[in-house]
Amino acid sequence: MTASTPSASRSPFDLTGRRALVTGVSRGLGLQMARALARAGADLVITARKLESLDESRRDLESFGHDVLPVALDVRVEDSIRTAVEAAAAAGPLDVLVANAGCNVRKPSLEITWDDWNTVLDTNLRGTFFTVQAAARHMLPRRSGRIVTIGSLTSVFGYAGLAPYCASRGGVKQMTMSLADEFGPHGITVNCIAPGWFRTAQNDVLYRDEEWVRSLTERIPLRRPGRADDLDGIVVFLASDASAYVTGQTLLVDGGMSTGSVRALPQAR
Ligand SMILES: NC(=O)c1ccc[n+]([C@@H]2O[C@H](COP(=O)([O-])OP(=O)(O)OC[C@H]3O[C@@H](n4cnc5c(N)ncnc54)[C@H](OP(=O)(O)O)[C@@H]3O)[C@@H](O)[C@H]2O)c1
């Protein structure tokens, strides 16, 4: 059975027998989304820049009872993407890609350097595109695949001090629509998960400011920042048969913040 063939006897959310490549699994949201996919039955290929930084994640993910293959991948290096995706595909057909690896530089725009700009755009936008391209080369001949990119609230809203990041996440959203248009006729869906505010290593410094957290929380209709497991349902949905007729979408998982309170969020100190 292919990834997109529905079956009467299996849950549309079941990922048993499917292989998912998830990038950026050494910590944070990538690790949590990999857990959700493993819980739904998927075999995994997990990546980070250094193989040893995946040791703990591998042990954690193997507890779900499915295959876990760690592979080194730096999305800023073209050869690294190609080699890693080849290794992933050599282990078995690639059914799912979650292109999660990303970074941020938080600075006033007048202080952003050429290198800052390149770091963020190369990682989040170019890195995502070429990871998708490499995975799609394996999916298109099989006429089956689920590709998930990662955006952000900043895919649709601006935020002071995050100009390169906003540019990269807006780009991912636009690119997702373009790729969905192009790959749809080949049986591949491409959708974007856009998380709101989730506390991870990437933004931990902000959450140490209680006043800032209070202001943030007041502006989220569900009255709390995201927990990593708030992405479990959406990633399984987009990786599985359940989303067979959904493509090109950016789905905001933000506790409702995009309904209107984003502009009122105070500048981070
Ligand atoms: N946290 C949020 O509130 C939030 C909101 C919206 C979107 N996002 C996005 O969601 C994704 C995960 O975020 P997070 O908060 O979990 O961040 P995180 O804790 O900093 O984790 C980032 C992951 O990406 C990997 N990575 C970074 N640069 C890489 C590169 N050049 N090549 C390959 N892998 C690289 C890191 O692995 P190594 O450093 O070990 O290589 C790590 O596993 C990111 O794309 C982020 O921008 C986060």
- For domain 19-264, give its CATH number from 3.40.50.720, 3.30.70.3190, 3.40.630.30, 3.20.20.105: 3.40.50.720
What is the residue with the minimal CA distance to atom 43 of ligand 1? 24
CA 76 to ligand 1: nearest atom = 31
Nearest Cα neighbor of 71 from 10, 125, 135, 118 is: 135
- 104 CA distance to ligand 1 centroid (A)? 8
Q: How far apart (Å, rounded) are the C-alpha atoms in residues 230 and 224?
A: 11
User: Residue 239 belongs to what H/E stretch?
Assistant: helix 232-239
Per-residue pLDDT, 268: 60
Task: Answer yes or no: are the C-beta atoms of 244 and 5 closer than 8 Å.
Answer: no
Give residues with Cβ within 8 angstroms of 140, minimum separation 6.
Answer: 183, 186, 188
Largest CA distance in the chain: 58
What is the reported pLDDT for 86?
Answer: 97
Q: Is any atom of ligand 1 closer than 6 Å to the C-beta of 70?
A: no
Residue-range domain boundaries for the chain: 19-264
Give the pLDDT confidence score for residue 267 in this predicted structure. Answer: 62
Give residue-wise pLDDT tens across range 212-226.
Answer: 999 999 999 999 999
Candidates 126, 206, 128, 192; CA nearest to 161 is 206
Question: Going by CA atoms, what residue is nearest to atom 26 of ligand 1?
Answer: 101
Distance from residue 131's CA to the centre of ligand 1 (Å) = 14
- CA–centroid distance, 101 to ligand 1, in Å, is 5
Q: Which residue numbers in the chain have pLDDT < 70? A: 1-8, 261-269
pLDDT at res. 1: 42
According to the model, what pLDDT value does residue 90 have?
96
Quote the pLDDT of residue 263: 60
Query: Is 81 touching ligand 1 by the criterion CB < 6 Å?
Result: no
Q: Which of 47, 130, 200, 216 to mutate to test the pocket of ligand 1 (most atoms within 8 A of CB)?
A: 200
**49 in contact with ligand 1, CB cutoff 6 A:** yes
Reported as a single tens digit per residue, the pLDDT across 31-75 is 999 999 999 999 999 999 999 999 999 999 999 999 999 999 999
In sequence order, the 6+-apart residues with CB closer than 8 A to the CB of 66 are 38, 41, 42, 43, 44
Q: How far apart are CA 144 and CA 142, in angstroms?
A: 5
pLDDT tens digit sequence for 135-151: 999 999 999 999 999 99
Distance CA 26, CA 51 (A): 9
User: Is residue 1 classed exposed, middle or buried when 0-12, 13-18 and 19+ CB atoms within 10 A define those classes?
Assistant: exposed
Q: How far is the C-alpha of 50 from the C-alpha of 39, rounded, in Å? A: 25
Measure 185 CA to ligand 1 centroid, in angstroms: 31
Please identify which residue in the block is written with the tokens 């709101």.
196
165 belongs to the catalytic site: yes
